[in-house]
Amino acid sequence: MRAAFRCNPSVRVVQIFFLCYLFPSASAWAEQLPLPNRLHVSEWAVPWKGRPRDPFVDGHGNVWFCGQSGNYIGRFEPGSGEFKRFEVPEGSHPHNLIVDGKNRVWYAGNRNAHIGRLDPQSGAIKRYAMPEGVEDPHTLVLNRAGNIWFTAQNSNRIGLLNTASGDVQALTPTTARARPYGIKLDGQGAPWVALFGTNKLAHIDPDSMTLREIELPRADARPRRLEIDGDGNIWYVDYSEGYVGRYVPASGKFSEWRVPGDTSRPYGTALDHRGILWLADTGVIPNRILAFDTAAEKFVSASPVPSGGNVRHMFFNAKDGSIWFGVDSGFLAQGKPHKS
């Protein structure tokens, strides 16, 4: 027997709201559940502190990092636990570094307009001066020819350093104060850049040296870091409003997922060989290292940073599947995903 009933529409709206409040949808309920911790984090106190950041593992397994506020470059040997400090020119305040195929270290002299190359044996430094208008090299990435693409956030420039000649080509985004920040190269060697001062990504054609801006779906989004997967999809984190996003260049389609938490501020990122996007949520102290499964399209892990925060950049080491990051409080850290 089927029961029939009538109800006042206004009463029904209240009833539905009340039921939804008490019994949220399955997806909303799942988002409220605590995520498992699937990352083992080990930390080492850096003797000189100085905001250690932006680690990079060389061909010998040594971990190089910047001491940004301490004005130095550091090297850590995981096997022995030993640290070594390398001095850089006064006022450099290195912001980021990379290591080339010859194990030479290249760093961004963020406060005195140069990119430096450090000889790991002698400690000698060769400086590559920036052209007029490029004052603050920020984040670096090597291309296949051994040249360096880089961002200059406050100068509003994206540059290419020819490491053989020292020549620098610089491009300016169309958007004023776009603040080029994170940068990665796709499979064709083309740079993609997160424009942190606006709601856009930038793509550069390296052959024609032309720059194109791509607007994100939300006006208040502020992308800070990005990664590129094997299919050429662009994964970015929106620092301002707490989202992970995917842009598919072939179709122009965007998809976005809210980062768990009320005050999320996703910052440093790394994409591993399993398609897990690791990101640092700096909206809480201690920071959380979150894992987003790009295939399943969901968050799968949350791990506190023992020493607090902030985590500004991360490096995925393909040799052992771990991620490395620096912590502003004066620590170098390695995260090893749990085997499952």
- What's the token pair of residue 182? 């994170």
Average pLDDT over residues 286-313: 98
- Examine residue 291 and state whether it is found in any structural domain, yes or no: yes
In the prediction, which pLDDT does 339 show?
Answer: 85
- Examine residue 22 and state whether it is found in any structural domain, yes or no: no
Radius of gyration of the chain (CA): 22
Average pLDDT over residues 222-239: 98
Confidence of residue 1 (pLDDT cuts 50, 70, 90): very low
Predicted model pTM: 0.91
Domain of 171: which CATH number?
2.130.10.10
- Examine residue 176 and state whether it is found in any structural domain, yes or no: yes
Q: Distance between CA 98 and CA 117 in Å, rounded?
A: 10
- Examine residue 18 and state whether it is found in any structural domain, yes or no: no
In the prediction, which pLDDT does 285 show?
Answer: 96
Average pLDDT over residues 174-184: 98
**pLDDT tens string 159-170:** 999 999 999 999
- Examine residue 29 and state whether it is found in any structural domain, yes or no: no
DSSP states along 226-260: EEE-TT--EEEEETTTTEEEEEETTTTEEEEEEPS
Say yes or no to pLDDT of 29 above 50.
no
In the prediction, which pLDDT does 263 show?
Answer: 96
Secondary structure (3-state) at 180? strand
Do 311 and 268 touch, CB atoms closer than 8 A? yes
- Examine residue 211 and state whether it is found in any structural domain, yes or no: yes
Q: Distance between CA 332 and CA 325 in Å, rounded?
A: 6
Say yes or no to pLDDT of 11 above 70.
no
Do 225 and 237 touch, CB atoms closer than 8 A? yes
- E-strand ranges in 110-242 read 114-118, 125-129, 137-142, 148-152, 157-161, 168-171, 180-185, 191-195, 200-205, 210-215, 223-228, 234-238
- Examine residue 100 and state whether it is found in any structural domain, yes or no: yes
Q: Is 89 exposed, middle or buried (0-12, 13-18, 19+ CB in 10 A)?
A: middle
- E-strand ranges in 4-78 read 39-45, 52-57, 63-67, 72-77
Say yes or no to pLDDT of 31 above 60.
no
**pLDDT tens string 98-139:** 999 999 999 999 999 999 999 999 999 999 999 999 999 999
- Examine residue 1 and state whether it is found in any structural domain, yes or no: no
Count: domains in the chain: 1
Mean pLDDT check: name the lowest of 20-24, 45-49, 191-195.
Answer: 20-24
Specify the residue for token string 């054609």.
Answer: 205
Question: In terms of residue numbers, what domain contains 333?
Answer: 38-337
